[in-house]
Amino acid sequence: MAAETVSILRIDSSMRQHGSVSRDLAEVTVAKLRAELADSEIVWRDLKSGVGHVNSAWRDASLGTAAARSAEERALLAQSDALKAEVERA
């Protein structure tokens, strides 16, 4: 039976690109995990860019039924669905 690949999800939320204690701690932690779990998948999310915000349009789209959603609403929810899947894999 093949070993299952471990998924590590690193989420950075500090506004500081340099001099951030939480980023430094995450870097050390991920390096140790990578050394122990060589075949692991690492997904890195930085909340300062590339992640949309929850706003009223997202809220309205999420409250409607899937069948009633417009193409714009489906696109709006696609990113949050992908991010949710990353968390579930980790």
Output the pLDDT for position 68. 94
Output the pLDDT for position 25. 95
Residue 2 pLDDT level (bands cut at 50, 70, 90): low
**Count of other CB atoms within 10 angstroms of residue 11:** 16
> Quick check: 25 and 13 in contact, CB under 8 A?
no
pLDDT at 1 over 60: no
From CA 63, how far away is CA 47, in angstroms rounded?
24
- Please give the model's pTM, rounded to 2 decimal places: 0.67
